[in-house]
Chain A
Amino acid sequence: MSVLVLVEVEEGRTSLVSREALTFARALGAGDVHAVVVGAASAATVADCRDAGVAVVHEAVDPALDRYAAAAWAAVVEAAGRAARADLVVAPGTGRGNEVLAHVAARRGLQMAANVVSVTSLAPLVVERQVVGGAALERATVSSRVRLLTMAGHAVEPSPAATPGEARVSPLAVPVDPRDMRAQVVRVERREKGDSAGLAGARVVVGAGRGAGGPDGFAAVDALAERLGGAVGVSRVVTSLGWRPHHEQVGQTGSRIAPDLYLACGISGSIQHWAGCASSRTIIAVNTDAEAPMVTKADYAVIGDMHEVLPAVLDELG
């Protein structure tokens, strides 16, 4: 019996979440850890696997697999699972990890648990996994012959094994079924700089609320958004008062945003507004009121008038 881990490769190396999955698989103590890589396993990847205690690295090399097709990847995982005699398959909880394992589950009639954070029992297999967007955990049993799990990101810290694994590279001969290539990536459109996907897709959003003071109070906000290559988002009161157009509204009744940075200026942070911006990775609040909810819920805050703070920030940025 062994645990098979689907390893995703990023810029020639084992991705962070894949190393997390390897660490997790090893910690289960449910047998040897095998890895499966679609495409040739680079030396770096094999080294990562060795460090992580992997016994065997199964690689599937076929020009047909150069283009991503989830079903074809699933066929590779199936073949690796057979080769490894795995009764547990783990993948990172990425878009691909979830997609590929869902294919395996559907093809083999197996059960799958997504976004697992921990295993509380191996026999029967009981996992804890994130549900409701991570706001709650579900304890669930996974009871098929072979069990499929994807790992929630950052549930474990990747660490090297006490004893490195053999990491023997074992080629898999998987004939690619044309039916599995019916849905394949035909091309990738690389992102270009400055190609803003609008407010909802912006990497940076500079927000402004009542603190802007009036329709003329957005100059620094606009300038900073442009300087950071981001978009402007406003609170409901701002659009209600007609200071800015509705399509800029962030909140329950406007756009929901999930940027890397939300810089909320002069926004008190009503519940409705929060619903629209809570998914931001980092929130910085600029507000005169140190007790405003936007401030207390933010990661960083500057206490002060946005009309003083923002020009200073623009100066500082040069």
Chain B
Amino acid sequence: MAPLPSSARCVVIGAGIVGNSLVHHLAELGWTDIVQLDKGPLPNPGGSTGHASNFIFPVDHSREFADITLDSVRQYEELGVFTQSGGYEVARTEERMEELRRRMSSAKAWGIPAELVTPEQVAEKVPFLDPSVIIGAAWFPTVGVVDSLRAGTIFRERAVERGALTTVPNVEVTGMEVVDGRIRAVETNQGRIEADTVVVACGVWSPRIARMAGAHIPLTPAVHQMISVGPCEVLAERPGEISYPIVRDMDTFCYERQHGSDMEVGSYAHRPILWDPDDIPSIEQAKLSPTEMPFTEDDFDPQLEQALELMPELLGDERAEIRYAINGLLSLTPDGYPILGETPEVKGLWSAAAVWIKEGPGTARAVAEWMTHGNPEIDLGHSDIARFHPHQRTRAHVRARTSEAFNKTYGIVHPGEQWSSNRNVRLAPMHASQRDLGAVFFETAGWERPHWYESNAGLVEEYGDACMPREHEWDARWWSPVINAEHLRMREAAGLVDLSAFAIFDVVGPRALEAVQRIIVAQADVRVGRVVYTPVLDERGGFRSDLTVMRLAHDRFRVVTGGAHGMADKKWFADRMPEDGGAVVVDLTSSWTTIGLWGPRALDIVSSVTDADLSPSGLGFGSCREIEVGGLHVLASRISYVGEFGWELYTPMEAGAALWARLLEAGTPHGMVPVGIGVYGTTGRLEKGYRAYGTELDTERTLMETGMSRAKWKDQDFLGKDAVLAQAGEPPKTVLCSLTVDDHTSASGRKRYMLGGEPILTRDGGTLTDGHGRHPYVTTAGSAPSLGKHVLMAFLPPDAAVLGNELAVSYMEELYPVTVAAVDATPLFDPGNERIRGLA
């Protein structure tokens, strides 16, 4: 037995695919003195890696997943453990065919080879599949299988060869020592190891290990059933592990994957079966391994029947036996994304969990970069552990959402689809009023936000075709023409918007200015009462966020950012506060509610309930002031995300309902209506060309590429400044553009409306490639009712980013003509910003 070292520069807990890949990448990046621990033996310690089906379908609707998966495949190939088999996703229903067309779009957007094929074509390559059961399929030639255990061994060996790694198997972590919010040591049943960097890469056990340090990794072990049937004569005839393509039987949520002479059938169709990390057996207690739980046959029987339908001869062979059947445990998270990064609770304690085989090496590389340079090359925004709000870390939330998500693994998930479980967790103070107004609630970070109000349904008739109704059910799902009607009324009169979901935190203290100045791109040293919209960049000039900062006092800055990304922003700021405590971050999200009032009549409306001078000159753009509105204390901030004159009105949470009621009452005579997030988040901002963090902006994008460069940079240093200056001297590799759809008519004659994620091609369907080697895709799609156009945002190659350039968008495997309408941040609507300035 290798003795347990008493200290290390970095301790990696877990020797599954993630831990093994990670020690290699850390060593590559120059880390030494890494100690890797696992409770189990090598090379298969008994976690999820050991029973993984080990196949990789590179296609995914998420770019983050697709990029990480592609990188993982490259790494597996380099290790010599990848075998390309090709794979089909087969459709039994027309609805599924439509979904496969949508997957074609994603595949094209991420540059993954794919084509739609007929049942007969499938049967040519998979002769034991009954083509009469399916109506078509998607063919992904680059699908393959890997030997993840072998990959892990090679990765570990490489790190050992560099002299960087000591792996100690069969040692159990029993505790974590945290001093002043920092990890100090890991305690094990064989002694204590001091380390100031510790990575939890223990898959299904991660929550349990993190909890020892007081941190949360909100994942749950969940069952994925798998059986192995064999020996099958037809499979045994060909040598090697895999010689037939893998089949995903999408409508039955099952897959069939050859493994030597056996056929493995796996299912995501059964009821969600969740385990608690504390209930997972020890290695000794388990029959097979701790993550191969006893098979529950009844759950699988329906899938067996469906699999038999698809492959009647192969699986119906009496000589082929079900030799191996497990309820395999894997990790699920409430939003389906991995949990990566430094925990917000404990400095130096990192999570690399809820990562599947197809993402392992890619994720590990990115996390290693993150640990080394502070940022991964591939944006991991969706996977950042800091994203979770406190309520999202609760066991109830994790169980509810993962239960709901499990059957969506192969499901058809609409991009706008809402969760139905664990709702009504965070309610705005004016929630009751909104309910009375027929609000249709969408959820952001637990907040119930009206997406539109049924009380405005009458406006649809009033505005008629200007509401741009959608004929196809898919395009109109999770959408309503009322959104566009609300938009038009806001532009005509005024709209009242509940913005309670904002994350709000103050940076306070004698060194607050210095701290904020260093973090944001815009000049922070402004007079008290100024409101600054600013990007926040990382060291490489990539976007970490965009947000507004109000200077409320010489030593107090209020940061307002989106709810979805608020927790990550808070950690970004908190991590960069001075060590001496000269400035601190104070979370005020639950203290303040925000109501937006915008539109040509906004001044008339507010003037009826306040004596304050809120005229364009009374409170200039980019200014804020404490005033009294309807007898309530309000901080009014004159900015706009919808392109209209008006304010964000901040009031204490407990006064929110009253302010809402008084403004509603004051506005109604002026034609004002309550307006949902459908307008605020999409139609209003699209017309104005406003970029959103998470769709257009992420760490892989720069100010130059997004058309957000400045003529002049502040003298003070700020994060990313060097990179920005370097980038400013170079032509951008890609350019964020707005495009309008010229004709929506599909081959069937029905008009179709893109929803986002679709590839942008040349007018005749040719591929475009930008300077990063990426293919353009739609980052945001939505109506621009004031223009009567459907607008798309996309990053285009610079030579295609030309005003009036005629291109095409591929939607459901049909091309629609589009034209480039803006090649920078110039608004399509009111380009002179006269409305915002109150001049219109």
Contact = CB atoms under 8 A, between A and B. Distances in A.
Contact flag (A, B; Cβ within 8 A): yes
A271 B42 contact: no
B259 A240 contact: yes
Interface stretch (B280-288, B414-422, B831-839): B280-288
B260 A239 contact: yes
B85 interface: no
Contacts of B341: none
Main SS class of interface, B: loop
B43 interface: yes
A219 interface: no
B283 A271 contact: yes
A228 interface: no
A120 interface: no
Contacts of A196: none
Interface string B274-305: 00000000010011110000000000000000
A271 B261 contact: no
Contacts of B261: 242, 246
Nearest to B230: A246
A159 interface: no
Contact of A293 (B41, B239, B286): B41
Contacts of A291: 1-2, 41-42, 169-170
Contact-size category for B: 20 to 34
Given A271-B289, A272-B288, A291-B170, A241 B42 contact: no
Contacts of A290: 1
A282 interface: no
B170 A271 contact: no
Interface in B307-358: 323-324
B41 A275 contact: no
B231 interface: yes
Contact of A241 (B231, B260, B288, B323): B260
Contact of B43 (A240, A242, A268, A275): A268
Contacts of B43: 268
B170 to A, nearest CB: 7
Contacts of B287: 252, 275
A275 B283 CA distance: 12
Interface string A285-302: 000011111001000000
Nearest to B46: A271
Nearest to A239: B260
B731 interface: no
Contacts of B181: none
A292 B50 CA distance: 16
B44 interface: yes
A279 interface: no
Given A241-B260, A246-B261, A275-B288, A289 B42 contact: yes
Given A275-B287, A291-B2, A241 B241 contact: yes
A292 B241 contact: no
Nearest to B240: A242
A143 interface: no
B527 to A, nearest CB: 67
A242 B289 contact: no
Given A246-B231, A291-B1, A253 B260 contact: no
A270 interface: yes
Given A252-B288, A271-B46, A242 B241 contact: yes
Nearest to A240: B260
A92 interface: no
A269 interface: yes
Contacts of B259: 240
A296 B261 CA distance: 32
Contacts of A242: 239-241, 260-261
A183 B323 CA distance: 37
Contacts of A271: 46, 283, 286, 288-289
* Most chain B Cβ neighbours within 10 Å, of A239, A271, A296: A271
A50 B594 CA distance: 100
B574 to A, nearest CB: 42
A253 B230 CA distance: 11
Contacts of B230: 246
A252 B51 CA distance: 14
Contacts of A253: 228, 323-324
A241 B145 CA distance: 13
A253 B323 CA distance: 6
B14 to A, nearest CB: 17
B263 to A, nearest CB: 13
B39 to A, nearest CB: 12
Nearest to B41: A293
A133 B261 CA distance: 34
A168 B289 CA distance: 58
A240 B240 CA distance: 8
* Most chain A Cβ neighbours within 10 Å, of B2, B239, B241, B260: B260
B745 to A, nearest CB: 53
Contacts of A268: 41-44
Given A252-B287, A253-B228, A291-B169, 10 more contacts: A239-B260, A240-B260, A242-B261, A252-B288, A271-B286, A272-B288, A275-B288, A289-B42, A293-B41, A296-B170
20 contacts: A240-B241, A242-B239, A242-B260, A246-B230, A252-B288, A253-B323, A268-B41, A268-B42, A268-B44, A270-B50, A271-B46, A271-B283, A272-B288, A290-B1, A291-B1, A291-B2, A291-B42, A291-B170, A292-B41, A293-B41
Interface of B: 1-2, 41-44, 46, 50, 169-170, 228, 230-231, 239-241, 259-261, 283, 286-289, 323-324
